[in-house]
Structure 1
């Protein structure tokens, strides 16, 4: 569902997913991720000799010759890269059995786990997954199931409110300027063009309509989903443009068509214009987190484990984060020099208070991941169908 072009990302529509299960806690992440029924796929107990290659499905900018060639020299594993444009494409490619690893986002992870397409990971075999990996990327519900980790963190980012400070002269503190029909910037608001954007509406409703009882923007029952869609239809009346192509988003701001709306830190940076500023509003936001995941039927698991360890080192993880434009998973990178420190500061890499306000993309499923067991939540197919009604 997320599209990444020249070191930027965007959501696109994806296929449906529905899972059943049970959860006995209102905070599944506090007990080691989500508790659901998934295929019993074995975990590697020990490493063997490396094979001759590793086949990776990755976002653009994640697997580059600058570091993959060094990996080949060190391990003898030739890196074969396949760039994917969307999470949906990644899922489809992983199900062909031709790939060992994928750099999956949270909106694809649950589908891969539930489908038996990826295997749980033995963290003892990945030494660089240690104390330096930021805590906020460990044990999350999008890649940790029944206490087992299925993903090795790569990086993360927030979906923030960007604005033209020459027009929006007072720094916004709320998303209200992008959602309310009486916004002074009506007609110049930009929004995502994707079903997962429903979660952004849910985040706003959590703060402004608490009686709806939303406690997780990816766990919406039918009534809550309907409320989110109503808000999105209201927003549609003040939206100048929907975007899925990062270049189009940058152009919209630069050309003056848009003066405020959803963005990523990297897009503001790429615009290279100081009048464009951004803020994480008081309601919080959605966001994304990527992780390496290993195919359940990997033909080259030893090379794959070697890659996950290599790519988790401060130097390589940092190179990926800088190349793409995101907060690295390995905090030790932030202490490797002035450039690294500046990058980490810009992307709030080690600021867990900042990321506590971010709801990372998680594919909606029928099990309510907020812990409710007395209702059935809506799944992504229902979100996709509902999204089709938003723009008319």
Structure 2
């Protein structure tokens, strides 16, 4: 094990205690909850020469990692993870310095003391060009303190095969209701966080449930979401967690409509045939950020990497390589190709992303501001999800 353990693990997300908060449990300074007191770097020293990163595929490539090594002397070692759960598990080994965490992992890492707060003053490229919609979010900004440096974001769209689904679907009803004309040809995401997708649908169609945030569900609301998911299970052809499997399912014709990432369309070759839309109900989505391990012994290299990848050109390379909206909006003005990419992924369209609920780890304290009930946590979501597919 390369990393030396400096700080012990702390309470799980289920034990977070809500501190003073605004009416919706958050503000421009993120979420207000009690978390472990982890020290933050105050200044940087000499690079340590090595940096171990857990990242999504496409986030750490030789095209920019080699230049970083040449500039800093920090050799980058990459470990690709396929799911947020895998990222959390790997970060808890103490062997990695950085992770490209999505919102369904970040609060778990913060609550357990696995990651340290970030001193943004040590990241010069984190400036005015970082899109506002990725700053101060509740999944990685706690008590006014940042724990993440934004990389990119995207919506979980409704993808469809236009040869079969000949009219653009305006609603998610085509994947939730049993009378869908595409029953038996539907694909759905295979993870507990997908419960939030059901909650988004219920927010719109069953307002009497009182859901105002799909990640803040009391037991009654969670039960309603699970009932909807069990209903959907009867018309689902395949669940997917591996993007390759989802692409294969669409290409093979097993599925013709369902939840997808915008990036997956570019791998289908026939992008005219496979279309995507953000339905009227809105959607869930994801926003990824670099987070630094509280056990890292390469803090200087880690900060240098976060600064390097926050620059417009490098952040843009990552965004184009993965297929997402970049965090640094200045990239959109660097070339016609960059501008086209930003338009495709709605990079600076905050009105679009106002309809997207970024993945956020469910915790017992209701992040919608309610104090008269207890909300369900990620462990409860995980247990409930196991009942969906039987």
TM range, smaller chain: over 0.9
Quote the Cα distance in structure 1 between the aligned partners of 2:175 and 2:80: 33
Is 2:58 the counterpart of 1:61? yes
Residues 5-34 of structure 1, C-alpha deviation per residue, up to 9 Å, x if partnerless? xxxxxxxxxxx8413312532333424111
Q: Which residue of 2 aligns with 1:11?
A: none
Corresponding residue to 1:383 among 365, 381, 384: 381
Which moves more between the two structures, 45-54 or 311-320? Answer: 45-54
Misfit runs of 4+, over 4 Å = none
SS at match of 1:378: coil
Q: Which residue of 1 aligns with 2:280?
A: 282
Quote the Cα distance in structure 1 between the aligned partners of 2:25 and 2:136: 10
The 5-angstrom pairing of residues 185-200 of structure 1 reads 185-200=182-197
Q: Which residue of 1 aligns with 2:147?
A: 150
Q: Quote the offset at 1:97 in angstroms.
A: 2.2
Q: Quote the offset at 1:301 in angstroms.
A: 1.0
- Contact residue 327 and residue 348 of structure 1 kept, 8 A: yes
Q: CA RMSD in A?
A: 1.3
Q: Which residue of 2 aligns with 1:326?
A: 324
Quote the Cα distance in structure 2 between the aligned partners of 1:77 and 1:300: 9
Quote the Cα distance in structure 2 between the aligned partners of 1:86 and 1:99: 16
Quote the Cα distance in structure 2 between the aligned partners of 1:356 and 1:165: 27
Is 2:90 the counterpart of 1:100? no
Q: Quote the offset at 1:266 in angstroms.
A: 1.0
Is 2:47 the counterpart of 1:45? no
Q: Quote the offset at 1:364 in angstroms.
A: 0.9
Quote the Cα distance in structure 2 between the aligned partners of 1:164 and 1:92: 36
Q: Which residue of 2 aligns with 1:73?
A: 70
The 5-angstrom pairing of residues 228-247 of structure 1 reads 228-247=225-244
Which moves more between the two structures, 365-374 or 238-247? Answer: 238-247
Q: Quote the offset at 1:125 in angstroms.
A: 0.8
Corresponding residue to 2:16 among 7, 20, 26: 20
Quote the Cα distance in structure 1 between the aligned partners of 2:139 and 2:313: 26
Quote the Cα distance in structure 2 between the aligned partners of 1:143 and 1:238: 35
- Contact residue 13 and residue 363 of structure 2 kept, 8 A: yes
Is 2:187 the counterpart of 1:176? no
Q: Which residue of 2 aligns with 1:341?
A: 339
Is 2:88 the counterpart of 1:91? yes
Quote the Cα distance in structure 2 between the aligned partners of 1:351 and 1:337: 18
Quote the Cα distance in structure 2 between the aligned partners of 1:239 and 1:82: 32
SS at match of 1:369: coil
- Contact residue 21 and residue 35 of structure 1 kept, 8 A: no
| TM-score, normalization by structure 2 | 0.94
Quote the Cα distance in structure 1 between the aligned partners of 2:327 and 2:102: 14
Quote the Cα distance in structure 1 between the aligned partners of 2:250 and 2:75: 42
Quote the Cα distance in structure 2 between the aligned partners of 1:106 and 1:332: 24
Corresponding residue to 2:299 among 295, 298, 301: 301
SS at match of 1:26: coil
Quote the Cα distance in structure 2 between the aligned partners of 1:319 and 1:50: 24
- Contact residue 16 and residue 35 of structure 2 kept, 8 A: no
- Contact residue 327 and residue 344 of structure 1 kept, 8 A: yes
Quote the Cα distance in structure 1 between the aligned partners of 2:183 and 2:177: 9
- Contact residue 16 and residue 111 of structure 2 kept, 8 A: no
- Contact residue 13 and residue 111 of structure 2 kept, 8 A: no
| TM-score, normalization by structure 1 | 0.93
Q: Which residue of 2 aligns with 1:209?
A: 206
Q: Which residue of 2 aligns with 1:35?
A: 32
Q: Quote the offset at 1:41 in angstroms.
A: 1.0
SS at match of 1:18: helix
Q: Which segments of 5 or more consecutive residues in structure 2 lack a partner in the other structure?
A: 1-11
Q: Quote the offset at 1:93 in angstroms.
A: 2.1
Quote the Cα distance in structure 2 between the aligned partners of 1:92 and 1:181: 37
Corresponding residue to 2:135 among 117, 135, 138: 138
- Contact residue 29 and residue 139 of structure 1 kept, 8 A: no
Quote the Cα distance in structure 1 between the aligned partners of 2:85 and 2:312: 29
Quote the Cα distance in structure 2 between the aligned partners of 1:311 and 1:111: 24
